[in-house]
């Protein structure tokens, strides 16, 4: 296996560090628009299989050329979701398989944005799934932690814990604090705004996919490992689009434990138009307000040393168990920032995202996982993935509610 | 009298429209960095005394050259307070008198920003007051509505209503709504952020000027004319720096009726660093986040047609009246947006600001008001000013609390 990693930001650099401890690949090219950042992530592994390259992720032909130059078999996309389609197309053009951690972007329904779906997350990728399958190529989409591990949990629960699944609700929460900042998101603010301000999507068996107002159906979810109760709200997320394609359930939701303060910040950004990705003229220049917001905040990848606490990703499944008893079970994965900083030098949120595509690459390299077309994580057997996660030193947990 | 108006934004254009109905001047040059905007404001009056010019308000020599070219006797500054010192200096260099509606900017105390004053509003102007006086020149500073009319009210109360003044508290509130926008400030957001996020300043006779945390001493003030109760908080404002220089009082404050929603928006902008005026790098360009915030919001001067409601500026004076009875009296001025749009085509907040310097210019032209040095509105007799306001069709009111 010869891997091209596109993106040497927080998640990309963490992925390189995790992969460097494994022997399932022969070459690992770390590419970024910032050559110095790529070089730092590659050389930081101290592993001669890693080399750095510069790439324009917005140009499919540049991605394809880099694949051909290095004989790439698998492209791992670790940049923000604006670049999904260019990297996805570039990998296909070069005959490589493809993995990402976020899918092609949605756009709201032009007339009824808070009721009906417009273009859904991943629609552009699924539109060409037949081409990928016909060419024997695999795009494994949404294989970070959420989407990714959360989808694996859904598949595991359906296969091994339940006889009938009523609701699959992904629940994500943390008690991370960043010392020395009034406000410092622990994950890309660009992506967080995209997720939280787009109309949240819900799936129901008798209705299909539909949308709601942002921040709908608030609930307080009690997270494990000492994190405790956090206010969670519906947000747009890939799991809701992926899980119903492969796992039988009556309802699928995603709720993000944003907490009240973060919700208020996002509402204010939206109210002022500062979430916009369209350029505004300011003096003699044009900028996208959302990029200015991101530029004002510290880079989450650099905050690990100042962070304290844990982050939890998990999937709450309710339905009838194998004995036809009504059950509600939360399958989850917790990363303590102190542990991830000590073991890998990566902060908890980016490490938790980055470990999953490396596990998946290892399962694909061994042939334990295989397939063609555009497939989500729940299209594969969950057990070897969850076992591998334990082998990587990061076990998962299960809690009956 | 030959007037140079610098700034053809909302307040400048409204000032031109108000002045055009009066005969106290011979020439009125409307200058702006945007020549088309200046031309629109000048020709919009349909009055041949008005001509347009282009000027760089940040260059004192450009302001002085324009004064000399047109034989200007009085410069009226109607741009944002970043340009106070350049216009003030330019007028002085050309031998013209000067009026403004906001004073030179403050900077917080480097060590104790929320206890002690650093550089105060107007300090840079008062520092050269002796030069202005020695040259027989007048700078009438802070002669909008607040500061301006609010200072005139303070002087009137001290001269005619009270024998001992305990507290002079300016209180500003409105019930304006803008149809069709989630959030649309009715006054310059740049200036509002500056006023509200700088440490509020308070004056006490036995302590002098000192500062507090932003948004301190919240109170609900019941505004007249049907506006009703609005949450008010301390903000930095010129009245607190001006009134104690000429009017004897034990305490002077300024509270702005921001309302809860606006306060939360300002706190969020501050938390995210989006209030900053220092440039940040975004992609290949540099921008000040505060300028981006302003660019995302509609221009308040253009909102008049969509606005409904009234704005109130006033001064609450407490102390012993002429019969040594304890009294609390609110002197106020209300503008109904429907009236100002119909009568002048200007929205209420900018019209209410703009009328006052025109009244002052008229009093200076007739010699009713005269003086040299750097003087606030409360340095002059209040009665002819308040009478003139009635003559302009915009009466003021008085309410015993």
Query: Do B182 and B267 sit in the same domain of this protein?
Result: yes
Give one DSSP letter per residue of B169-217, joined into a string: EEEEEE--EETT-S---SS-HHHHHHHHHSPPEEEETTTEEEE--TT-S
Helix B238-246 to helix B149-156 angle, to the nearest 10 degrees?
30
Asked if B292 and A289 touch (Cβ cutoff 8 Å), the reply is: yes
Distance CA A63, CA B321 (A): 81
Q: In this complex, do A289 and B292 lie within 8 Å of one another by their Cβ atoms? A: yes
Distance CA B289, CA B94 (A): 35
Place of tokens 């928006």: B265
CATH of the domain at A252: 3.30.360.10
B101-119 residues labelled b (16+ CB within 10 A) or e (exposed): bbbbbbebbeeebeeebbe
Q: Identify the bridge partners of residue B282 per DSSP, sorted by sequence position.
A: B285
Query: Do B195 and B305 sit in the same domain of this protein?
Result: yes
Query: Do B95 and B153 sit in the same domain of this protein?
Result: no
Q: In this complex, do A287 and B285 lie within 8 Å of one another by their Cβ atoms? A: yes
pLDDT at residue number B304: 82
**Pairing status of strand A201-204 against strand A177-178:** unpaired
**Confidence band of B300 (pLDDT split at 50, 70, 90):** confident
Phi-psi region of B155 (alpha: psi -120 to 50; beta: other; left: phi over 0): alpha
In a domain, A261, yes or no: yes
Query: Do A238 and A342 sit in the same domain of this protein?
Result: yes
A326 inside 8 A of chain B by CB: no
In a domain, B233, yes or no: yes
In a domain, A61, yes or no: yes
Query: Do A15 and A154 sit in the same domain of this protein?
Result: no
Q: Which of A79, A100, A121 is the last residue of a domain?
A: A100
Longest C-alpha distance within chain A, in Å? Answer: 68
Q: Which residues are CB-neighbours of B190 under 8 A, at least 6 positions away?
A: B80, B290, B291, B294
**Pairing status of strand B280-282 against strand B251-256:** unpaired
pLDDT at residue number B223: 97
Asked if B123 and B238 touch (Cβ cutoff 8 Å), the reply is: no
pLDDT at residue number B302: 83
Query: pLDDT tens for residues B365-380?
Result: 999 999 999 999 999 9
Q: Quick one: DSSP state of residue B59?
A: -
pLDDT at residue number A300: 84
Query: pLDDT tens for residues A177-190?
Result: 999 888 888 888 88
In chain A the first and final C-alpha atoms are separated, in Å, by 42
Angle at A78 between CA A74 and CA A83, to 5 degrees: 95
A391 inside 8 A of chain B by CB: no
Q: Which of B71, B100, B129 is the last residue of a domain?
A: B100
Query: Do B185 and B286 sit in the same domain of this protein?
Result: yes
A-chain CB neighbours of B286 within 8 Å are 285
Map residue B74 onto helix, strand or coil.
Answer: strand
Distance CA A235, CA A215 (A): 7
Query: Regarding predicted confidence, which is higher, A334 or B304?
Result: A334
**Tokens for A243?**
């899980």
Query: pLDDT tens for residues B8-51?
Result: 999 999 999 999 999 999 999 999 999 999 999 999 999 999 99
In a domain, B121, yes or no: no
Q: Which residues are CB-neighbours of A235 under 8 A, at least 6 positions away?
A: A195, A196, A198, A200, A214, A215, A254, A255, A256, A258
Query: Do A186 and A48 sit in the same domain of this protein?
Result: no
pLDDT at residue number A304: 83
Q: Which residues are CB-neighbours of B207 under 8 A, at least 6 positions away?
A: none
* pLDDT surpasses 90 at B328: yes
In a domain, A194, yes or no: yes
What is the pLDDT of chain B when averaged over all its residues? 96
Closest CA of chain A from B290, distance in Å? 10
Asked if A263 and A231 touch (Cβ cutoff 8 Å), the reply is: yes
Place of tokens 């409904």: B308
**Tokens for B197?**
């996020």
**Confidence band of B323 (pLDDT split at 50, 70, 90):** very high
Q: In this complex, do A273 and B296 lie within 8 Å of one another by their Cβ atoms? A: yes
Query: Do A206 and A78 sit in the same domain of this protein?
Result: no
In a domain, A284, yes or no: yes
* pLDDT surpasses 90 at B232: yes
The domain of A88 spans 2-100
Facing B280 at nearest CB: one of A273, A289, A296: A296
**Tokens for B209?**
């000027």
Query: Do B183 and B291 sit in the same domain of this protein?
Result: yes
A-chain CB neighbours of B269 within 8 Å are 268, 272
Q: Which residues are CB-neighbours of B233 under 8 A, at least 6 positions away?
A: B200, B214, B215, B216, B217, B218, B219, B255, B256, B258, B263
Residues of chain A with pLDDT under 50: none
Query: Do B168 and B46 sit in the same domain of this protein?
Result: no
**Confidence band of B104 (pLDDT split at 50, 70, 90):** very high
A-chain CB neighbours of B296 within 8 Å are 272-274, 276, 280, 289
Cβ burial, residue A302 (10 Å; 0-12/13-18/19+): exposed
pLDDT at residue number B268: 95
In a domain, A391, yes or no: no
B281 inside 8 A of chain A by CB: yes
pLDDT at residue number B293: 96
B-chain CB neighbours of A280 within 8 Å are 292, 295-296
A-chain CB neighbours of B276 within 8 Å are 296
Query: Do B179 and B260 sit in the same domain of this protein?
Result: yes
**Confidence band of B166 (pLDDT split at 50, 70, 90):** very high
pLDDT at residue number A182: 82
Distance CA A60, CA A87 (A): 6
How many other CB atoms are found less than 10 A from the CB of residue A131?
A: 12
B-chain CB neighbours of A273 within 8 Å are 296-297
* Mean pLDDT on B343-361: 96
Number of domains in chain A: 2
B279 inside 8 A of chain A by CB: no
pLDDT at residue number A303: 87
Determine which of A56, A197, A274 to mutate to test the interface with B (most B C-beta atoms within 10 Å).
A274
Asked if A304 and A345 touch (Cβ cutoff 8 Å), the reply is: yes
CATH of the domain at A59: 3.40.50.720
In a domain, A123, yes or no: no
Asked if A199 and A214 touch (Cβ cutoff 8 Å), the reply is: yes
Query: pLDDT tens for residues B42-56?
Result: 999 999 999 999 999
Q: Which of B100, B130, B158 is the last residue of a domain?
A: B100
**Tokens for B139?**
């700078």
* pLDDT surpasses 80 at B301: no
Query: Do A323 and A177 sit in the same domain of this protein?
Result: yes
Angle at A314 between CA A308 and CA A315, to 5 degrees: 160
Residue of B nearest to A273 (CA): B296
φ/ψ of residue B290, rounded to 5: -65, -35
Alpha helix segments (H runs only) across B99-226: 123-126, 129-134, 149-156, 189-197
In chain B the first and final C-alpha atoms are separated, in Å, by 42
A291 inside 8 A of chain B by CB: yes
**Confidence band of B187 (pLDDT split at 50, 70, 90):** confident
Angle at A141 between CA A66 and CA A379, to 5 degrees: 135
pLDDT at residue number A373: 98
């Amino acid at each position: 296996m010869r891997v091209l990693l596109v993106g040497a930001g927080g998640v990309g650099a963490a992925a390189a560090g995790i992969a460097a401890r494994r022997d399932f690949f022969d070459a690992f090219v770390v590419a970024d628009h910032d050559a110095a950042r790529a070089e730092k992530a590659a050389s930081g592994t101290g592993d001669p299989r890693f080399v750095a390259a510069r790439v324009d992720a917005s140009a499919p032909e540049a991605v394809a050329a880099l694949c051909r130059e290095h004989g790439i078999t698998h492209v791992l996309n670790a940049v923000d979701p604006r670049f999904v389609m260019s990297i996805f197309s570039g990998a296909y053009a070069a005959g490589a398989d493809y993995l990402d951690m976020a899918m092609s972007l949605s756009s709201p329904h032009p007339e009824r944005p808070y009721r009906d779906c417009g273009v859904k997350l991943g629609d552009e990728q699924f539109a060409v799934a037949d081409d990928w399958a016909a060419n024997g190529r695999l795009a494994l989409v949404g294989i970070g932690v959420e989407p990714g591990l959360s989808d694996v949990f859904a598949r595991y629960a359906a296969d091994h814990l339940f006889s009938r699944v009523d609701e699959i609700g992904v629940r994500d929460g943390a008690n991370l604090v960043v010392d020395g900042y009034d406000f410092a998101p622990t994950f890309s603010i660009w992506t967080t705004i995209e997720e939280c301000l787009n109309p949240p999507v819900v799936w129901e068996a008798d209705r299909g996919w539909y949308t709601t107002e942002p921040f709908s159906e608030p609930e307080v979810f009690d997270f494990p490992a000492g994190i405790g109760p956090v206010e969670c709200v519906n947000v747009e997320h890939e799991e809701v689009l992926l899980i119903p394609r492969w796992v039988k359930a009556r309802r699928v939701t995603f709720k993000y434990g944003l907490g009240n303060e973060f919700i208020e910040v996002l509402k204010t950004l939206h109210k002022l138009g500062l979430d916009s990705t369209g350029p505004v003229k300011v003096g003699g220049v044009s900028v996208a307000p959302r990029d200015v917001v991101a530029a004002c905040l510290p880079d989450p990848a650099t905050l690990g040393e100042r962070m304290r606490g844990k982050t939890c990703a998990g999937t709450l499944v309710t339905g009838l168990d194998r004995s036809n008893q009504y059950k509600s079970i939360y399958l989850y994965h917790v990363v303590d920032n102190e542990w991830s900083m000590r073991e890998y030098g990566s902060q908890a949120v980016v490490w938790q995202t980055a470990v999953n595509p490396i596990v998946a690459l290892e399962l694909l390299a061994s042939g334990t996982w295989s397939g063609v077309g555009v497939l989500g994580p729940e299209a594969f057997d969950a057990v070897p993935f969850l076992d591998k996660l334990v082998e990587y030193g990061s076990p998962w947990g299960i809690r009956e509610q």
